[in-house]
Structure 1
């Protein structure tokens, strides 16, 4: 079972991803809920951080209440490019105190759209904790592609380059198993999932009848984004959440 830590400045706990630029998922502490804000239109990352700081201040929340970021990139990146991007992304968060020692607690997803392609890194949405009497059980799981963490390079990508329907089903089942494991690690209830997001350029319609219906998420607001996962070589990524309040705000 993955290690779970409490991030007291943010009023949430998170699944530790040692050395990673983000955690595997977060859950609000008892007495706190999660609130998600999607920008009406994605805005540049620097502007997104500035908006988040102002928004949290208006809400009476510290910047450390930021629990998850959803990003958009111009294209899938090489491993080296991804590391460089993460270094820039983390500068602001670390300046805000959004870290637990050397561990990064926030959840994250990132993708590279194949339509309406941005010309720079953009913020799509963010999630933060808010005090709420009687609240418990809200969670958000980071985007997970079909990779085995810690596996040798030749075995790392589940299903390899097979993107046939059968290959995609193998990838999807692996990713959905990981989603369930992460929700369980946080001590949360899968039945409370309120939305799921799929990031792939491949047709996932046939998987609705099998993988996603079996997971009881095919009719709760499943969103498919035609996009590549953030690193070259990955084909399929999913995240899930249980968030009690969601807003859409024009960031400009």
Structure 2
């Protein structure tokens, strides 16, 4: 279900408590994606985002998506507890719309050089634009967790990493990505960033299951990372935007 956020000038796809399933800019606006050149603690990240948005003439309502990096995968209970703390900040910012969290999110655990605490890696925001030929959107991260319900029994082929099990996991996640993309009014051919997060080799999986579905012009980006919950093995997110920025927010 798409829900309009009049304060942020975007629509969001209803998700679960910690995040929406994706966001798409309304007519007259576009989504800009910002990647940090240096990670900062996630809680401080919110204040730095607000300072940056104020600097460029926007308020906190322009925020529409977050990307976090955590030290290691959480247990399910730990993940729920972290999400409660995270969501409390969104509520303090008064970002919820009719009781729903509108902010899309990806949260993964790097395998190499993981951070010591959960950190802000990237965020997206809305800005006015005169004309665009196509919508701009961000699809939130999703792993092989059926319907996103935060219960261990919802994990596809839990505790299995055989070739067959991994194929089933990837098939499920690609289907989720396509479903969210369609509901946001997007199309695979206008997606220009596809991220894969897993500690498993992706060559055979991507060639057989991902590449046939996507716009191959821009390729795939593999992060050797683990999804944020123990026993989830494969995650993806994607976006279709016109502006990517790289910033150091530490000095704001």
Alignment TM class, shorter chain as reference: over 0.9
* C-alpha spacing 1:59/1:158, structure 2 compared with 1 (3 Å): same
Question: Equivalences for 1:61-76 in 2 at 5 Å?
Answer: 61-76=58-73
- 1:33 is matched with 30
Give SS of 2:50's match. Answer: helix
Give SS of 2:218's match. Answer: coil
| 2:127 paired with 1:112 | no
- 1:149 is matched with 147
| 2:50 paired with 1:56 | no
**Within 1, Cα distance between the matches of 2:54 and 2:211?**
40
TM-score normalised by the chain length of structure 1: 0.93
* C-alpha spacing 1:54/1:221, structure 2 compared with 1 (3 Å): farther
Q: 2:192 aligns with which of 194, 200, 209?
A: 194
CA contact (8 A) 2:18 2:87 kept: yes
- 1:165 is matched with 163
- 2:40 is matched with 43
Q: Deviations over 1:146-196 (max 9, x none)?
A: 011277968522233332233222111111111111111112222100101
The alignment of Structure 1 onto Structure 2 pairs a total of residues equal to 249
Give SS of 1:116's match. Answer: coil
Q: 2:96 aligns with which of 92, 99, 111?
A: 99
**Within 2, Cα distance between the matches of 1:158 and 1:9?**
37
Q: Deviations over 1:85-139 (max 9, x none)?
A: 1122122221222111321000000011111110011000000011101234111
Unaligned runs of 5+ in 2: none
Give SS of 2:146's match. Answer: coil
* C-alpha spacing 1:150/1:137, structure 2 compared with 1 (3 Å): closer
CA contact (8 A) 1:25 1:107 kept: yes
Deviation at 1:245, TM superposition (A): 0.2
Cα RMSD after superposing both structures: 1.8
- 2:181 is matched with 183
**Within 1, Cα distance between the matches of 2:62 and 2:244?**
16
Q: Deviations over 1:209-251 (max 9, x none)?
A: 2112211245514211111111111110000100110011112
* C-alpha spacing 1:48/1:162, structure 2 compared with 1 (3 Å): same
- 1:227 is matched with 225
Give SS of 1:102's match. Answer: coil
CA contact (8 A) 2:139 2:238 kept: yes
Give SS of 1:10's match. Answer: coil
CA contact (8 A) 1:137 1:189 kept: no
* C-alpha spacing 1:186/1:236, structure 2 compared with 1 (3 Å): same
CA contact (8 A) 2:190 2:215 kept: no
Deviation at 1:80, TM superposition (A): 1.6
- 1:5 is matched with 3
CA contact (8 A) 1:14 1:23 kept: yes
**Within 1, Cα distance between the matches of 2:65 and 2:124?**
5
Structure 1 stretches (4+) deviating beyond 3 angstroms? 150-155
TM-score normalised by the chain length of structure 2: 0.93
Give SS of 1:130's match. Answer: strand
Deviation at 1:50, TM superposition (A): 1.6
CA contact (8 A) 2:76 2:152 kept: no
Give SS of 2:214's match. Answer: coil
